[in-house]
Structure formats: C-alpha cells, structure tokens
Amino acid sequence: MLSAIAASYALAAIVISGTVDLPRLPSLSPDGSQITFAWRGDLWKVPTQGGAATRLTSHSADEAESAWLPDGSGIVFTSDREGGPNLWFMQPDGSGLRQLTTLDVPSMRLTGIGESPVGRAAYFDAYLEGDLYRSPRSYMVPLTGGEPRRVHDAFGTNARPFADGSIVVFERGGSEWSRRHYRGPDSRDVWTFNRAVDPAKAYTRLTDWAGNDGHAFWTAPATIVFLSDRKDDTVNLFRRSPNGAVEQLTHFKGEDIKDLTVSADGSKAAFTVWDRLYTLDLSGGAQPRIVAVTATEDAGDLFEQKPVASLATEAALSPDGKAMAVIAFGDVWVKGTDSKVPARRVTDWPSREKDIAWSADSQTLYFTSDHSGTEDLWQATVNKTRDDVKKSFEAATKPIEQPKPAEPAPAEPAPAEPAPAEPKPVEPNASVPASDPAQPAVPANATAPNDDAKPADKKDEKKDEKKPEEKKDEPNRWPDAVSFEVTALLQDPAQDRQAVPSPDGTRLLF
C-alpha cells in the first residue's frame, strides 16, 4: 500500500524573487566583512551588509559547516562528496579545492580553525573511538593533512582555541537545545582547557546555569560570547567578562538563536533565527541586523521527488482499516488503503511531528508536535473531501433555469342553450322473466355481494408498523480527503506527548 505513497512529492527550498530563504551555518571572515553560509546543499559568500551572494561550490553532494582561516587565506568546510562527511579546503574564491581528511564516520561537525600543538589545525567533533560512553569528542587535524588527535581527554564538543592554542573553550553536556525546560545533569555548560598547566587543574568551569549554555567563542583574552536559554525560555546571546559578569546581548523571545559564529578579531557575530540571517556588532549597545541575501535562481531543483514510504519513521492504521497515517520528513501524511490517490500531507510546518494515534471512530488523528516551541498534543480532522469539492463545483456551475412565460388562456365560447331532454323508455329487467309477474323486480344497478372484500376502513397493520432505525457509523472521510483542519489540543509549558485515545472515545491518555 505504501508504494503508492512513494509517488508523493516533497518541496525543496524555493527561491522567491531571487531571495535566499533559510540560509544556514554562517561563518564570518576574520575581519567580519564577509559571510559564508550553506544554502541548498552548496556554500555561498556574501558581504555582511547583504546583497548578491557568490556561489563557492557547485556539487550534487551536501556542503555544511565552514570556517575561515585566521588570516583569511582560505576556507575549510565539511562535505560528503566522497561518500561520507570529511573536511575540505578551498581558497576564498572557491578554487584550490583539496581534501583534508579521509575518515569513515557517520557524522562530523567543524567547529573552528586555530593554532594547536601540531600547528594550524581544523577543530571538529566526531565519533572516532569506540567509547563505552557514547558521546562525541573534540579532535584537531593539521591543515597540511595528517591523522586527527584529541584536543583533550574530556568528553565535550564545540572546541575553539584562543591565540596560540594553549587554551581551548568547549562545552560539556548533551541536552537538546529544544528542551526548553530541562534542568538536569545532562544540561550544557561552558568549560576551558589549559594545556599549559598541571593536568589536575587544566579544566575550569565558566558557567553553572541549570539550563543550557554553549557554543562559546573568544572575543578577547578571558572574554567569551555564548548561547544560553537562561532568560525568557529562549536561546539568546550572552557575554562573559573576565570577572565572571554575564551580560545579555540579544533579547529574542520565542525564537531561538542558532548557528552562532564570531569573527576572528572579535568585532562581529552572525547567527540565524528561524529563517533569517542576522549580524551583531559586538562593540556594545548594538542591535541585531537582518542580512538580506539574493542569489541567482536555479529552477532545476525547485522540486525534488522523495519516496515517502521508505523514509517513514512511524505508521498507524485507522481502526476501520481504511486509512494509513505515517510520519515522513517530520510531517503527517495520510493515504487510503484501497485508494490509488497519492498520499495527502496533513501538516506542512518546519516543526517536527510524531506519536500519531487514531480515535476509535477513525475520524480524528492525534499527534505530537513542537510547532509552538515545546512538544504539545494536536488533532487533525478532514475539512473537505473530493466528493465535497465535486458537489460544490456542480452546484456552482449548474445553469440557472429561467421560468417560462405563461401562455395566455384561450377565450371560452359562449355556452349554448341546452336542448330539451327526450324521455327514455323503461327497459324490462332481463334477469326476471316477463311471464312471472310474482317475481320481485331487481334494480338494474345491483351487484352480487363479494365475500372476499375487506372492510374499507380496515388498514394493513403490517404496513403501518415502523421498523427501528439502525444507527449507522459516520463514513471514514480520510481516504478521499483533500484538506484538513489541524488544531492544538493541549498546550502548556510542560512536554506533552504520546496520546492514546480510549476505546469509547471519551478519554485521552498521554
């Protein structure tokens, strides 16, 4: 059945009037004048003031994080063009491409470029060792090539060196940034590692907020900027001074900062919020500024065919067996089990949906979504079916019947005077012989009695008996659905998920 779903289409990122939508993973040049970013699987470069972007890579593979060399002489980036993610180097204009690593790992994340004990190196996070504790570590590899080595022996990520590389700032903890209200042992904190001191004193904890602190960058000696959700339940940018004082630099509410980057001279920061790219002057008192970016349109990849069936992460069959709901690409899809109509997309949000469950009558579909920022319970019902559309179309296009004009009635002729009636002779009754004068006369209109005749006022009781109406179940409208009504069922600051409807349809367990 799900093979039919594979014919469904998923929209890729769309260029509208040449405007770059959803720029991701920015990286600032050392002086803060240029930004490289990932868009539609390639790397682009644009001035920090905005404008037309220049394409640096053009490959069917995906390019992701990038980082400028401190002197601006080159750019290191991650790409899976050789089958798996690895580090590559290119000139600022996109030329001089060469591969730095040949690792066989499922994922890696480039975090920065700087000095190290092995010379100028690229810093990245990856799973390179079979540790019992499954957490990524920070590694460094010389820009001239060679084997990666640990930055330090602690578990942690997002390592970035300062100056000569003897001090490295990094973060520990693995709580997802989307878990806004998490307060526990896995929350993230910012640490430093100093390889020039006694190993017993090499690690220093800089933040102790119960939530998440991380993605720290150096801006000056003993001064860092970092992301934190310590205010307004939103991830914003903060600065920590050498004396330990923390200052809030941005004040977004409800929309988190992501993909933070800072120029090597510490003068400017860039980041994304939702689908927008921002820059911020770190000299003090400045406000974030949106960077408007345009690029040449590329009509060849406006649409991409995706196999929904093979990429589904969840599936739920309706109780009546007439519809199948699946989660694919983070959205809810529904397909009729006996229908050749392609699957219909119920949600089309940037958020993630999961935990699909049907009501007992197969009319309502429940699911979990983080559309509002936290995981909440939502419900979807059919708003309109193909049959509804057909009836609406027929009603709208049906010709209006014009009433015909009434024809004038013909004139009636004057009534003629009636002719005088002639008396009719009385005929003798044929049933009585004329020779029997003693037989009484029988009226001419008399009829023989009918013994089988029923009384005129007696009704058939069986016909008058009314049968009790059987209650019919409402037909399942999902297989023929074309539009849906999606509403929030339960929203509160807590995480609500995994709805389980009761068999009688009166309660919901979650």
Is the domain of 232 the same as that of 149? yes
Output the 3-class SS for 184-203: CCCCCEEEEEECCCCHHHCE
Q: In this structure, what token pair is assigned to residue 120?
A: 């100028």
CATH no. for residue 366? 2.120.10.30
Is the domain of 290 the same as that of 187? yes
Is the domain of 69 the same as that of 158? yes
CA distance linking residue 36 with residue 469, whole number of Å: 71
**Across-strand partners of 27?**
36
pLDDT above 90 (res 340):
no
Q: In this structure, what token pair is assigned to residue 91?
A: 């000139």
| DSSP letters for 438-507 | TSPP--TT-----TTPPPTT---HHHHPPPPPPPPPPPP-GGGEEEEEEEEEE--SS-----EE-TTSS-
pLDDT above 90 (res 250):
yes
Is the domain of 231 the same as that of 323? no
Residue 125 domain flag: yes
CA distance linking residue 40 with residue 37, whole number of Å: 10
Cα 487 to Cα 132, 369, 374, 490, 505: the distances in Å are 44, 11, 15, 9, 18
Q: In this structure, what token pair is assigned to residue 44?
A: 């682009």
Range of the domain at 222: 19-296
The length of the chain in residues reads 510
pLDDT above 70 (res 105):
yes
> 118 falls in which pLDDT band (50, 70, 90)?
confident
Is the domain of 249 the same as that of 349? no
Is the domain of 361 the same as that of 218? no
The string of pLDDT tens digits covering residues 200-224 is 899 999 999 999 999 999 999 999 9
CA distance linking residue 90 with residue 397, whole number of Å: 62
pLDDT score, position 303: 65
Long-range contacts of 169-172 (CB under 8 A, 24+ apart): 169/206, 169/216, 169/217, 169/218, 169/224, 170/138, 170/216, 171/213, 171/214, 171/215, 171/216
pLDDT score, position 5: 41
Residue 399 domain flag: no
Instruction: Please state the domain count of the chain.
Output: 2
Instruction: Report the candidate in 444, 448, 447, 439 with the shortest Cα–Cα distance to residue 424.
Output: 444
CA distance linking residue 205 with residue 172, whole number of Å: 10
Segment of 299-308, 389-398, 401-410, 453-462 carrying the highest mean pLDDT:
389-398
Which whole number is the average pLDDT over 31-40?
A: 96
Which whole number is the average pLDDT over 454-474?
A: 54
Is the domain of 278 the same as that of 324? no
Is the domain of 325 the same as that of 281? no
CA distance linking residue 424 with residue 83, whole number of Å: 119
pLDDT score, position 430: 46
Which whole number is the average pLDDT over 311-339?
A: 91
Whole-model pTM?
Answer: 0.64
Average pLDDT, the chain: 85
pLDDT score, position 240: 97
Is the domain of 330 the same as that of 267? no
DSSP-based three-state secondary structure for 393: helix
φ/ψ (deg, to 5) at 436: -110, 90
Residue 436 domain flag: no
> 308 falls in which pLDDT band (50, 70, 90)?
confident
Residue 451 domain flag: no
**Cβ atoms 123, 216 nearer than 8 A:** no
Dihedral angle computed from the Cα positions of residues 176, 182, 185 and 190, in that order, rounded to the nearest 10 degrees: 60
Strands 293-294 and 51-52: parallel
Is the domain of 292 the same as that of 342? no
Is the domain of 169 the same as that of 274? yes
Instruction: Report the candidate in 166, 141, 168, 164 with the shortest Cα–Cα distance to residue 154.
Output: 168
pLDDT score, position 53: 96
Is the domain of 253 the same as that of 207? yes
pLDDT above 70 (res 256):
yes
Which whole number is the average pLDDT over 163-180?
A: 93
Strands 365-369 and 353-358: antiparallel
Q: In this structure, what token pair is assigned to residue 368?
A: 């979990």
CA distance linking residue 406 with residue 340, whole number of Å: 52
Q: Of 273, 296, 319, which closes a domain? A: 296
DSSP-based three-state secondary structure for 237: strand
CA distance linking residue 368 with residue 355, whole number of Å: 6
Residue 403 domain flag: no
* Continuous segment of H or E residues that includes residue 98: strand 98-99
CATH no. for residue 195? 2.120.10.60
The three-point CA angle 170-176-177 to 5° equals 80
pLDDT score, position 402: 73
Q: Of 241, 264, 296, which closes a domain? A: 296
Residue 188 domain flag: yes
Residue 367 domain flag: yes
Q: Of 253, 268, 296, which closes a domain? A: 296
Residue 75 domain flag: yes
